[in-house]
Amino acid sequence: MIEEILLYVIGFVIFVILQALFINGWHESFAGGCTQDLTKGKICSGNIFYKISPSFFEKHRGNVWTLPLWGCIKCESSVIGGLTYWPIVLWIFGFHGIEILIYIFDVFILVYLNYFFYKRL
């Protein structure tokens, strides 16, 4: 019994670390910005999704609905964390009430880990 619980905890820790790394990669793929140059005008540079439509991302930068999708590394723990948590947990374990409590723990742990990896990496 103790060995099973220990294996689940170790698996959960590895899963949360992988989620945090994925969310940091997701956040970085939307990163970008524009600067104003007097001679060249507006210069935009960024990563893969930002390059698709910099005007869209600049127009919606800081909007409340964009924060959990790509705008805030801590806010992405709820939406992107849920998109990575629920399919895998439902596929492996099925649905039980305890998964909701574990998801709440997962989100709060991801808030810390996302910010930690964002500042360190």
pLDDT of res. 100: 94
The H-or-E segment that residue 45 falls in is strand 41-46
- Is 39 contained in some domain? yes
| Domains in the chain, number | 1
Q: Helix axis angle, 98-120 relative to 76-93, nearest 10°? A: 130
pLDDT of res. 39: 72
Express each pLDDT in 61-114 by its tens digit: 888 998 899 889 999 999 999 999 999 999 998 899 999 999 999 999 999 999
Domain housing 38 = 15-120
- Is 29 contained in some domain? yes
Cα R_g (the chain), whole angstroms: 18
Report whether 41 contacts 31 (CB < 8 A).
Answer: no
The H-or-E segment that residue 40 falls in is none
User: How many CB atoms within 10 Å of residue 59?
Assistant: 10
- Is 24 contained in some domain? yes
Express each pLDDT in 19-53 by its tens digit: 999 999 999 888 887 777 767 767 777 788 888 88
